Amino acid sequence: MQTQTILDTKQFPDGFFMQRHEPEVMPDNHAHSHVEILLPVGCDLTYLTQMGPVIAKDGYISVLWGQIPHRLSQIDRTGEVFIANLPLPELLSWSMPDRFLSALFTGQVISSTRSEDADSLHFRRWHDDYHSRDSELVQIARQELQLRLRRQSFAGWHLGPAAALKRGGARIRSFQHVHKMIRFLAENYTNPISVADVAAAASISTGYAMGAFKKSLGQSINGYLNQLRLHHAKVALIDRGEKVITVALDSGFGSLSRFYEVFIADTGKTPQQFRREHQRQLRD
């Protein structure tokens, strides 16, 4: 069973989701907050990123961070692609190696060092598990995906040529600062933190931090912090039956009123309406 290609990033689900479809060339760059874990089957896919063109090869796992503008520019041979779309905070909770994360946050497309025959079977199963709407199967799929990436980290990743980083110069150094800020935010967003705290984590001034972050991600540090907290809250509202005030405080919002303000501005719904809507979708 193939699923429809989602090119409009505004239609992306908030949490983990799986896609399987025939790849399509993208006319324009796009960006989104998820990490894409790709497996092309029967085809090679060329992506254009800030590092230039890079090929996601048939049968090899490739990983890219969707926040860095990218597009699929060329497809060689007819096949399909499986995509596991993973929220960044979830990936960071998996304790991936620093070298992997540094490459990810500087815009590299990371690839497995060899093809594994079992991967196509695994991705098919994860895709089917996700679309079964069985919450336990979806959780198992996420855990299996985590173990697959950790096993690949043990075997090693292809992180791209060093020359590509040298060509990036100051831009890459800026992304490395942003990487440190994102890592700090991902590890501390449930706590009361300030822009100054985020800048200090990257050992840069507050003004430089705000400018570099805005230039790299297209949004402010506080805007991104709210996104992380909102994602945490949405997952909690969907997956758990906790009271709204508990969800708000556990997600890092300092007060219930602030949580409602940010949540309604983002979704157009109250947290209760959001929860009921998703419960109806699961029943249907």
Q: Per-residue DSSP letters for 30-67?
A: B--SEEEEEEEESSEEEEEETTEEEEE-TT--EEEETT
- Is residue 192 over pLDDT 90? yes
56 in Cβ contact with 112 (< 8 Å):
no
Among the listed residues 31, 4, 40, 25, the one whose alpha carbon sits nearest the alpha carbon of residue 219: 31
Strongest mean pLDDT among 31-45, 89-103, 160-174, 204-218 = 31-45
Quick one: DSSP state of residue 90?
A: H
Q: How confident is the model at residue 145 (pLDDT cuts 50, 70, 90)?
A: very high
Structure confidence by residue, pLDDT tens digits, 204-216: 999 999 999 988 7
228 pLDDT exceeds 60?
yes
For the cut 90, the answer to whether the pLDDT of residue 146 exceeds it is yes
Q: Quick one: pLDDT at residue 92?
A: 79
Task: Return the residue matching tokens 């874990």.
Answer: 37
Return the higher-pLDDT residue of 246 and 215: 246
User: Is 90 exceeded by the pLDDT of residue 89?
Assistant: no
Closest C-alpha among 30, 64, 69 to residue 49: 69
φ and ψ at 18, to 5 degrees? -115, 145
> Sorting pLDDT into bands at 50, 70 and 90, what band is 163?
very low
Please state, for a pLDDT cut of 90, what percent of the chain lies above it.
Answer: 54
> Which residues make Cβ contacts (< 8 Å) with residue 7, sequence separation at least 6?
24, 26, 30
Section 92-108 average pLDDT: 82
Which candidate, 56, 63, 61, places its Cα nearest to that of 77? 56
Tokens, residue 201: 């984590």
pLDDT at position 164 over 80: no
Mean pLDDT of the chain: 87
**What band does 169 get if pLDDT is binned at 50, 70 and 90?**
low
Looking at per-residue confidence, does 57 or 29 come out higher? Answer: 57
Q: Is the pLDDT at 196 greater than 90, yes or no? A: yes
Contact at 8 Å (CB) between 146 and 167?
no
Tokens linked to 210? 């705000």
Q: With the CA atoms of 21, 158, 49 and 130 taken in that order, what torsion angle do they form, in degrees rounded to the nearest 10?
A: 30
Q: Is the pLDDT of residue 29 over 70?
A: yes
Q: What is the mean pLDDT of residues 35-54?
A: 92
pLDDT digits (tens, 9 = 90+) for 270-284: 999 999 887 776 665
How confident is the model over 1-19, as pLDDT tens digits?
555 555 555 567 767 899 9
Cα distance between residue 247 and residue 235, in whole Å? 10
**Paired sense of beta strands 17-21 and 62-65, if any:** unpaired
Q: What is the mean pLDDT of residues 27-37?
A: 88
Q: Which of 63-77, 135-149, 230-244, 251-265 has the lowest mean pLDDT?
A: 230-244
pLDDT tens, residue by residue, 62-84:
999 887 788 999 999 999 999 99
pLDDT band at 90 (very low <50, low <70, confident <90, very high): confident
Compute the average pLDDT of residues 102-107. 79
Rounded to whole angstroms, the Cα distance separating 176 from 9 reads 25
